């Protein structure tokens, strides 16, 4: 069964450093998402991406965040200058076209900012 894969599974970084979280969505999917979850709490929407551009972003997704699909398979989330409050589990997801399709989530990257 196809799946969304994320790397690394755990990333520890110093405050102020840049991090890149990587995702490989399911190959025939068209919509891509990043969500984050702080300490097993609510799943928060960050950004959606379609047709090589951001289709929607939340207020969390400020200028410190960016997304890219550099080579048609990887989907990356970059945090330019990490803050302590960026510590969270980051999930990538993808869906086929259409609102009725379910999202498939990766296993997540646990980001710890120290």
Partner 1 sequence: AQSVAQPEDQVNVAEGNPLTVKCTYSVSGNPYLFWYVQYPNRGLQFLLKYITGDNLVKGSYGFEAEFNKSQTSFHLKKPSALVSDSALYFCAVRDNNNFNKFYFGSGTKLNVKP
- Measured from the CB atom, the residue of 86 and 108 that comes closer to partner 1 is 108
Closest separation between CB of residue 76 and partner 1, Å?
A: 17
Beta bridge partners of 37: 43, 89
Q: Cβ contacts of residue 6 below 8 Å, gap of 6+? A: 21, 22, 23, 24, 90, 91, 92, 106, 107, 108, 109
Closest separation between CB of residue 51 and partner 1, Å?
A: 12
69 exposure class (CB count in 10 Å sphere: 0-12, 13-18, 19+): middle
Output helix, strand, coil percentages for the chain, rounded to the nearest 5.
Answer: 5, 50, 45
Name the site residues for partner 1 (rule: CB under 8 A). 4, 31, 33, 35, 40-45, 48, 50, 55-56, 91, 93, 95, 98-100, 102-108
**Whole-number Å distance between alpha carbons of 85 and 10:** 16
Closest separation between CB of residue 16 and partner 1, Å?
A: 27
- Measured from the CB atom, the residue of 20 and 103 that comes closer to partner 1 is 103
- Measured from the CB atom, the residue of 39 and 84 that comes closer to partner 1 is 39
Closest separation between CB of residue 108 and partner 1, Å?
A: 5
- Measured from the CB atom, the residue of 62 and 102 that comes closer to partner 1 is 102
């Amino acid at each position: 069964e196809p799946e969304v894969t994320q790397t690394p599974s755990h990333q520890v970084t110093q405050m102020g450093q840049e991090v890149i979280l990587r995702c490989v969505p399911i190959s025939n999917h068209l919509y891509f998402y990043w969500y984050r979850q702080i300490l097993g709490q609510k799943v928060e929407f960050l950004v959606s991406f379609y047709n090589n551009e951001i289709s929607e972003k939340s207020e969390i997704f400020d200028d410190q965040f960016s997304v890219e699909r550099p080579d048609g398979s990887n989907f990356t989330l970059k945090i330019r200058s990490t803050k302590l409050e960026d510590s969270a589990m980051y999930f990538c997801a993808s869906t086929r076209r259409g609102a009725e399709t379910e999202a498939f989530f990766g296993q997540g990257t646990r980001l710890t900012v120290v």
